[in-house]
Structure 1
Amino acid sequence: MTFKKPFRAVPIKEGKVYRRKRRYARAKRIGVPVVVLAAAAAIGTCIGLTPSLGFPSLRPGHRDTVSGCTVTDGDTIRCNGERIRLLGIDAPELPGHCRTGRNCAPGDGYASKRSLADALVGTIRISRVGEDHYGRTLAILSSDRGDLSCWQLEHGQAIYKPQSDDGRRVARICPKAVLLSN
């Protein structure tokens, strides 16, 4: 008689309970490193660290440059068809754009739009963060004049919105402007 597998003595404990314990022990050995790695990745993400993948274009938040930008309003621009919303700020709406029941930022929408247009000078760098519920890219943008969210806050053309500042990034970049806007 031939066996496909070599014969192995079966312990007396071989049964459902014994197999379950062995499976649990194996899962425990494999599961602990996975949980530790997942926790480390979550903590790193919370404090703003991103894993180095060796492919800089695939890293989340990779700083890139954009061109062909036009200003839509005080906190939104369009670059080559991509709608981009500045992170952490809310600018006054243009007349007729503030829906009933919405708490819009106070101020002159046209002045805010002009201010952002004045800041779009030279190379525009972008650090993408995510997407909002309108499908716009949420990002930190900077030009030769500095960070655009900070520019708008410093010139009184927007207010700081902590609930839309992912990871308090704008607050870390320009803390004085954030304090002045409130």
Structure 2
Amino acid sequence: MLDKKHMGDVHKFRKPRNSRRHSFQSELPSLRGPKRRRWTRVQSILVIIGLLLGAFLGLKLIGETGFASEEASFQCGSVRVIDGDTFDCGSTRIRLSGIDAPELPGHCRQGRQCTPGDPYAATQNLQKLVAAGAVQCRKTDTDKYGRTVARCTSKGVDLSCGQLSAGQAVRRYGYILCL
């Protein structure tokens, strides 16, 4: 109601501070959508565990083509080194996984950019690594030339990582984790 004192005065109408803009807005559904629920601590922990498990499995599969089976693992009785990333394990030609070593003269196909470096030093380093002890391999793939691609160790040293750490090869054809 109007105050008697201001009854004849003309006033600009102002919206009262705490009133609703339009009464019909309260009847309309909210345009913002439903309120978002916050994540509970249990949900957060489950998501973190899932991410860690996924990362672990991803890292495991990067170095291998799957979980190792008995058929995929084998030991080499006799080893004959061909070059810095290839050797014969008995009658099976093995290509070391994840690396590329310099090619011997005449072995680099035309149009291919071969790894720079001394192919003889790379070959000698691989010979030294396999001579350290029995060579144990785990097949990861077969390349386009029919060679078995494998992760191999000799006396606990991964041969691919040994070639990388000696500077006799570069990372190529997938990722390998060397610790």
Q: TM-score with structure 1 length normalisation?
A: 0.60
Percentage of matched positions with identical amino acids: 40
Which amino acid counterpart does residue 50 of structure 1 have in structure 2?
F
In structure 2, do the counterparts of structure 1 residues 107 and 152 end up closer, same or farther at CA, with 3 Å as the change threshold?
same
**Match for 1:156 among 155, 163, 167?**
167
1:73-99 residue CA offsets vs partner (Å, 9 max, x unmatched): 000000111000000000000011112
**Cα RMSD for the two superposed structures:** 2.2
Residues in 2 aligned to 1:159 and 1:173: alpha-carbon distance in whole angstroms: 12
Aligned position for 2:98: 88
- The 5-angstrom pairing of residues 74-113 of structure 1 reads 74-113=84-123
Give the gaps of 5 or more residues in structure 2: 1-53
Give the gaps of 5 or more residues in structure 1: 1-42, 175-182
Residues in 2 aligned to 1:128 and 1:90: alpha-carbon distance in whole angstroms: 17
- The 5-angstrom pairing of residues 103-142 of structure 1 reads 103-120=113-130, 121-142=132-153
Aligned position for 2:9: none
Residues in 2 aligned to 1:131 and 1:69: alpha-carbon distance in whole angstroms: 19
Q: TM-score with structure 2 length normalisation?
A: 0.61
Which amino acid counterpart does residue 90 of structure 1 have in structure 2?
D
Q: Is the 8 A contact 1:119 1:145 kept in 2?
A: no
- The 5-angstrom pairing of residues 1-182 of structure 1 reads 48=61, 50=67, 57-58=70-71, 61=72, 63-120=73-130, 121-144=132-155, 146-161=157-172, 164-165=173-174, 168=175, 170=176, 172-174=177-179
- Relative to total residues, which structure has the larger helix share, 1 or 2? 1
Residues in 2 aligned to 1:148 and 1:57: alpha-carbon distance in whole angstroms: 20
In structure 2, do the counterparts of structure 1 residues 45 and 136 end up closer, same or farther at CA, with 3 Å as the change threshold?
farther
Aligned position for 1:16: none
- In the TM superposition, what is the alpha-carbon distance from 1:130 to its structure 2 partner? 1.2
Segments of 4+ moved more than 6 angstroms? none
Number of aligned residues: 119
- Name which one, 1 or 2, has greater alpha-carbon Rg: 2
Residues in 1 aligned to 2:145 and 2:87: alpha-carbon distance in whole angstroms: 14
1:13-33 residue CA offsets vs partner (Å, 9 max, x unmatched): xxxxxxxxxxxxxxxxxxxxx
